[in-house]
Structure 1
């Protein structure tokens, strides 16, 4: 497959907590979860995303291993890199994950957390998104959304929301994300599709997906078209323009004005898919 990609930090001076890798046969995208509380860890979110991303990229080379197994082993591997940290802490660094791999004429995929895979195939557009995290801490989210971005009230509400969200992390009835517990991988969304049935696809972090929801400035088809006809970065620039037009989050209530955003577009999928 032929890939193009772009990733922008939430602001020019900030550290990008997204991470991605792309090869002719596999893609890995991570979105580090923003830390608003103590983490019990001396390492940052970017460190965690980069080390887990590297482990998953290496693991994806083994086409005999299921993607869930690769994720499970990757989480365990990164946990082993910092055993002196409090990995049982509720705020231990975590990241949403998407993995895509071409093997034996099929495209396999895995999603855990709020990274999305947008498939454009014979059945039209299919968005593979894990919405479980956004369904937690509903009351706290509504309260946080009621305040303008940058206000003291917003900041305090966001901390309360984060604590309520973390209380539901990696447990039944809540949501699942890559952190320190390898068994979270068992709860990932997975599937596969014949490569010949797929024209193109994209992997997007929620910072890029916001141009579709909640902004509604593009549909998934329009996002794919813009990324293909211009570039993935053109999509991310549209995101930044929309964010700048609503700096206080009054039109589109959200956690923060701008978010790290990553988009990978894959074309000519079926050509490599047939080669096995």
Structure 2
């Protein structure tokens, strides 16, 4: 099995709020949700994504534990770690999207919660799993935020309004679901399974790396081919080049110039287990 990984912070002066694990039997990519408001937490988004990732990987290594159960238990564990010091009822309490893939000799199973993308290529037959429920919330506020250039006071105000509306829709029926302090969110993850053979190629990307497709730089087959031939660092470099060419977001409308970007690519499944 060949596993290629790269993770790059969106800014040199901020911690990377993405986290990854890539092993022979398990891949996890977590994308900590940007906090534009108070969180009620002393630890922050980077800490939350790391601790959730470490716990879910430990639990998911037990093949008898269903992936949603592993995620629910990990959410509960991390909540208990900071329940005494932090306000977990705060509407802005740290949260993270997650993509989790577990491999078997002839198959894989996956879980996606929040805006992490999973791509499975079965000899040219491509399946993409993306949880876009968050992007279907705060629609009017998103349109308003897109009117302004990145870095402007109007953009900042519009993004704050958007965030408040997003948070009101977080982990409630009709809204979107993401890992934070309530383990029941795991019940709303997108789950599935697929066969694997020597033609299978797989990628898991945070939304910062998925900009290679969402900005229109590549399509999904092109992104997988680039990951295969030149690796995740090259894919992220393509994204960074586009971001640098459009720092104010006037060509490609987005919330911030550069986002944390993480990509994991896997192939060579046959005979690995």
- Structure 2 residue matching 1:254: 3-state secondary structure: coil
Alignment match, 1:43: 43
Task: Kindly report the root-mean-square deviation, in angstroms, between the aligned alpha carbons of the 2 structures.
Answer: 1.1
Alignment match, 1:152: 153
Q: Is the 8 A contact 1:119 1:198 kept in 2?
A: no
Report the Cα distance in structure 2 between the residues aligned to 1:246 and 1:170, rounded to whole angstroms.
33
Alignment match, 1:185: 186
Shift of 1:122: 4.5
Report the Cα distance in structure 2 between the residues aligned to 1:270 and 1:116, rounded to whole angstroms.
24
- Structure 2 residue matching 1:139: 3-state secondary structure: helix
> Is the deviation greater in 114-123 or in 13-22?
114-123
Normalised TM-score (structure 2): 0.97
- Structure 2 residue matching 1:210: 3-state secondary structure: helix
Determine whether 1:20 maps to 2:20: yes
> Is the deviation greater in 72-81 or in 12-21?
12-21
- Structure 2 residue matching 1:270: 3-state secondary structure: coil
Alignment match, 1:121: 122
Alignment match, 1:218: 218
Q: Which runs of 5+ in 1 are unaligned?
A: none
Q: Deviations over 1:201-254 (max 9, x none)?
A: 1000000101101x1111111111111111210000000000011111111111
Shift of 1:189: 0.2
Report the Cα distance in structure 1 between the residues aligned to 2:244 and 2:157, rounded to whole angstroms.
23
- Structure 2 residue matching 1:269: 3-state secondary structure: coil
Map residues 89-238 of structure 1 onto 2, 5 A cutoff. Answer: 89-122=90-123, 124-196=125-197, 199-213=200-214, 215-238=215-238
Q: Is the 8 A contact 2:177 2:189 kept in 1?
A: yes
**Which 4+ stretches in 1 moved above 4 angstroms?**
none
Report the Cα distance in structure 2 between the residues aligned to 1:258 and 1:39, rounded to whole angstroms.
22
Report the Cα distance in structure 1 between the residues aligned to 2:140 and 2:206, rounded to whole angstroms.
24
> Is the deviation greater in 50-59 or in 123-132?
123-132
Q: Deviations over 1:43-68 (max 9, x none)?
A: 11000000000001111210001000
Determine whether 1:78 maps to 2:78: yes
Alignment match, 1:53: 53
Alignment match, 1:62: 62
Normalised TM-score (structure 1): 0.96
Report the Cα distance in structure 2 between the residues aligned to 1:14 and 1:40, rounded to whole angstroms.
19
